[in-house]
Structure 1
Protein backbone atom coordinates (compact mmCIF):
# COMPACT_ATOMS: atom_id res chain seq x y z
CA UNK A 1 0.00 0.00 0.00
CA UNK A 2 1.29 3.44 -0.84
CA UNK A 3 1.45 6.25 1.66
CA UNK A 4 -0.15 9.58 0.78
CA UNK A 5 2.28 12.39 0.09
CA UNK A 6 2.53 14.87 2.94
CA UNK A 7 3.19 17.80 0.64
CA UNK A 8 2.05 16.84 -2.85
CA UNK A 9 3.35 18.70 -5.86
CA UNK A 10 1.19 21.34 -7.42
CA UNK A 11 -0.89 19.52 -10.01
CA UNK A 12 -1.08 22.52 -12.32
CA UNK A 13 2.67 22.88 -12.85
CA UNK A 14 2.32 20.61 -15.88
CA UNK A 15 -0.34 22.93 -17.31
CA UNK A 16 2.00 25.91 -16.99
CA UNK A 17 4.84 23.94 -18.58
CA UNK A 18 2.69 23.13 -21.61
CA UNK A 19 1.56 26.75 -21.89
CA UNK A 20 5.17 27.93 -21.80
CA UNK A 21 6.15 25.51 -24.53
CA UNK A 22 3.18 26.68 -26.61
CA UNK A 23 4.31 30.30 -26.25
CA UNK A 24 7.89 29.47 -27.14
CA UNK A 25 6.93 27.31 -30.13
CA UNK A 26 4.53 29.93 -31.50
CA UNK A 27 7.03 32.76 -31.25
CA UNK A 28 9.87 30.73 -32.75
CA UNK A 29 7.72 29.51 -35.63
CA UNK A 30 6.37 33.01 -36.25
CA UNK A 31 9.85 34.50 -36.42
CA UNK A 32 11.67 31.74 -38.31
CA UNK A 33 9.11 30.72 -40.95
CA UNK A 34 7.92 32.77 -43.92
CA UNK A 35 4.30 33.95 -43.91
CA UNK A 36 3.05 31.20 -46.21
CA UNK A 37 4.36 28.37 -44.04
CA UNK A 38 3.24 29.60 -40.61
CA UNK A 39 -0.27 28.16 -40.43
CA UNK A 40 0.58 24.56 -41.36
CA UNK A 41 3.49 24.49 -38.94
CA UNK A 42 1.38 26.07 -36.18
CA UNK A 43 -1.05 23.16 -36.63
CA UNK A 44 1.81 20.68 -36.36
CA UNK A 45 3.11 22.45 -33.26
CA UNK A 46 -0.37 22.38 -31.71
CA UNK A 47 -0.60 18.63 -32.33
CA UNK A 48 2.73 18.17 -30.59
CA UNK A 49 1.54 20.33 -27.68
CA UNK A 50 -1.59 18.16 -27.32
CA UNK A 51 0.51 15.01 -27.15
CA UNK A 52 2.92 16.74 -24.78
CA UNK A 53 0.07 17.70 -22.45
CA UNK A 54 -0.91 14.04 -22.11
CA UNK A 55 2.69 13.01 -21.56
CA UNK A 56 3.33 15.65 -18.90
CA UNK A 57 0.18 14.82 -16.96
CA UNK A 58 0.92 11.09 -17.11
CA UNK A 59 4.47 11.78 -15.94
CA UNK A 60 3.17 13.65 -12.87
CA UNK A 61 1.17 10.54 -11.98
CA UNK A 62 -1.84 12.10 -10.28
CA UNK A 63 -5.19 10.54 -11.02
CA UNK A 64 -7.45 13.17 -9.49
CA UNK A 65 -8.35 15.86 -12.00
CA UNK A 66 -6.44 14.34 -14.93
CA UNK A 67 -9.08 15.28 -17.50
CA UNK A 68 -9.40 18.80 -16.12
CA UNK A 69 -5.64 19.37 -16.24
CA UNK A 70 -5.26 17.97 -19.74
CA UNK A 71 -8.18 20.02 -21.03
CA UNK A 72 -6.82 23.15 -19.34
CA UNK A 73 -3.45 22.50 -20.99
CA UNK A 74 -4.92 21.98 -24.44
CA UNK A 75 -7.47 24.81 -24.35
CA UNK A 76 -4.95 27.24 -22.88
CA UNK A 77 -2.35 26.29 -25.48
CA UNK A 78 -4.96 26.71 -28.23
CA UNK A 79 -5.82 30.21 -27.00
CA UNK A 80 -2.17 31.18 -26.56
CA UNK A 81 -1.13 29.92 -29.97
CA UNK A 82 -4.19 31.51 -31.55
CA UNK A 83 -3.50 34.92 -30.05
CA UNK A 84 0.15 34.83 -31.05
CA UNK A 85 -0.75 33.77 -34.60
CA UNK A 86 -3.29 36.61 -34.79
CA UNK A 87 -0.52 38.97 -33.76
CA UNK A 88 1.75 37.67 -36.51
CA UNK A 89 -1.13 37.86 -39.00
CA UNK A 90 -1.80 41.48 -38.14
CA UNK A 91 1.91 42.22 -38.37
CA UNK A 92 1.93 40.72 -41.87
CA UNK A 93 -0.70 43.26 -42.96
CA UNK A 94 1.58 46.19 -42.15
CA UNK A 95 3.45 47.26 -45.28
CA UNK A 96 7.22 47.25 -45.07
CA UNK A 97 9.28 50.09 -46.44
Structure 2
Protein backbone atom coordinates (compact mmCIF):
# COMPACT_ATOMS: atom_id res chain seq x y z
CA UNK A 1 0.00 0.00 0.00
CA UNK A 2 1.17 3.48 -0.76
CA UNK A 3 1.02 6.53 1.48
CA UNK A 4 -1.57 8.99 0.22
CA UNK A 5 -0.44 11.79 2.50
CA UNK A 6 -1.76 12.93 5.81
CA UNK A 7 -5.43 12.62 6.43
CA UNK A 8 -7.34 15.01 8.63
CA UNK A 9 -10.59 14.40 10.40
CA UNK A 10 -13.35 16.36 8.71
CA UNK A 11 -15.32 18.85 10.73
CA UNK A 12 -18.78 17.32 10.68
CA UNK A 13 -20.84 20.02 12.30
CA UNK A 14 -18.76 23.13 12.96
CA UNK A 15 -20.13 25.48 15.57
CA UNK A 16 -20.64 29.09 14.70
CA UNK A 17 -17.70 31.23 15.83
CA UNK A 18 -20.04 34.16 16.49
CA UNK A 19 -21.68 32.52 19.51
CA UNK A 20 -18.50 32.80 21.56
CA UNK A 21 -18.02 36.39 20.44
CA UNK A 22 -21.57 37.38 21.34
CA UNK A 23 -21.26 35.73 24.75
CA UNK A 24 -18.11 37.72 25.47
CA UNK A 25 -19.59 40.98 24.22
CA UNK A 26 -22.82 40.50 26.19
CA UNK A 27 -20.84 39.76 29.35
CA UNK A 28 -18.81 42.93 28.74
CA UNK A 29 -22.01 44.96 28.45
CA UNK A 30 -23.42 43.52 31.68
CA UNK A 31 -20.14 44.05 33.55
CA UNK A 32 -19.83 47.63 32.28
CA UNK A 33 -23.39 48.48 33.28
CA UNK A 34 -22.94 46.97 36.75
CA UNK A 35 -19.68 48.87 37.22
CA UNK A 36 -21.32 52.10 36.06
CA UNK A 37 -24.15 51.66 38.55
CA UNK A 38 -22.38 50.30 41.62
CA UNK A 39 -18.73 51.44 41.51
CA UNK A 40 -17.75 54.62 43.35
CA UNK A 41 -16.63 57.42 41.06
CA UNK A 42 -13.08 57.45 42.41
CA UNK A 43 -12.53 53.76 41.59
CA UNK A 44 -14.59 53.46 38.42
CA UNK A 45 -11.68 53.24 35.95
CA UNK A 46 -9.96 50.65 38.14
CA UNK A 47 -13.08 48.51 38.08
CA UNK A 48 -13.40 48.94 34.30
CA UNK A 49 -9.83 47.66 33.90
CA UNK A 50 -10.60 44.67 36.14
CA UNK A 51 -13.82 44.01 34.24
CA UNK A 52 -12.01 44.13 30.91
CA UNK A 53 -9.40 41.70 32.20
CA UNK A 54 -12.16 39.31 33.17
CA UNK A 55 -13.69 39.67 29.70
CA UNK A 56 -10.35 38.79 28.10
CA UNK A 57 -10.15 35.68 30.27
CA UNK A 58 -13.76 34.83 29.39
CA UNK A 59 -13.01 35.23 25.68
CA UNK A 60 -10.01 32.93 26.01
CA UNK A 61 -12.02 30.35 27.96
CA UNK A 62 -14.99 30.37 25.59
CA UNK A 63 -12.83 30.00 22.50
CA UNK A 64 -10.69 27.33 24.16
CA UNK A 65 -13.77 25.31 25.07
CA UNK A 66 -14.84 25.45 21.44
CA UNK A 67 -12.08 22.99 20.67
CA UNK A 68 -11.06 24.23 17.23
CA UNK A 69 -7.51 25.36 16.66
CA UNK A 70 -8.03 27.04 13.31
CA UNK A 71 -8.50 30.78 13.84
CA UNK A 72 -8.16 30.60 17.64
CA UNK A 73 -6.04 33.73 18.05
CA UNK A 74 -8.26 35.70 15.67
CA UNK A 75 -11.40 34.70 17.59
CA UNK A 76 -9.88 35.53 20.98
CA UNK A 77 -8.63 38.90 19.76
CA UNK A 78 -12.00 39.69 18.14
CA UNK A 79 -13.79 38.83 21.37
CA UNK A 80 -11.40 40.94 23.43
CA UNK A 81 -11.52 43.91 21.06
CA UNK A 82 -15.31 43.76 20.92
CA UNK A 83 -15.47 43.65 24.71
CA UNK A 84 -13.20 46.70 24.87
CA UNK A 85 -15.43 48.60 22.43
CA UNK A 86 -18.64 47.61 24.24
CA UNK A 87 -17.22 48.62 27.61
CA UNK A 88 -15.93 51.87 26.13
CA UNK A 89 -19.32 52.77 24.68
CA UNK A 90 -21.13 51.97 27.92
CA UNK A 91 -18.62 53.90 30.02
CA UNK A 92 -18.87 56.86 27.63
CA UNK A 93 -22.63 56.77 28.11
CA UNK A 94 -22.21 56.90 31.87
CA UNK A 95 -19.68 59.72 31.51
CA UNK A 96 -22.05 61.79 29.37
CA UNK A 97 -24.87 61.11 31.82
CA UNK A 98 -22.66 62.31 34.67
CA UNK A 99 -21.89 65.54 32.78
CA UNK A 100 -25.56 66.39 32.48
CA UNK A 101 -26.34 65.48 36.07
CA UNK A 102 -28.51 62.47 35.38
Question: So what's the TM-score if we normalise by structure 1?
Answer: 0.89
For 1:18-76, what per-residue CA distance to the aligned partner results, in whole angstroms no more than 9, with x for missing partners?
A: 00100000011111122222111010000111111111111111111111101110111
Aligned partner of 1:76 in structure 2 is 82
Query: Which has more radius of gyration?
Result: 2
**Distance (whole Å) between structure 2 residues aligned to residue 87 and residue 95 of structure 1:** 12
**Distance (whole Å) between structure 1 residues aligned to residue 36 and residue 21 of structure 2:** 22
Matched positions, count: 96
Aligned partner of 1:43 in structure 2 is 49
80, 94, 101: which one pairs with 1:88?
Answer: 94
**Distance (whole Å) between structure 1 residues aligned to residue 64 and residue 12 of structure 2:** 20
The unaligned stretches of length 5 or more in structure 2 are 1-6
RMSD: 1.7
Q: Kindly state the Cα deviation for residue 3 of structure 1 after the two structures are TM-superposed.
A: 4.4
The unaligned stretches of length 5 or more in structure 1 are none
- For the residue of structure 1 that corresponds to 2:12, the secondary structure is coil
The runs of 4+ residues in structure 1 deviating greater than 4 Å are: none
**Distance (whole Å) between structure 1 residues aligned to residue 75 and residue 101 of structure 2:** 41
Which stretch shifts more, 51-60 or 28-37? 28-37
- For the residue of structure 2 that corresponds to 1:8, the secondary structure is coil
**Distance (whole Å) between structure 1 residues aligned to residue 101 and residue 12 of structure 2:** 58
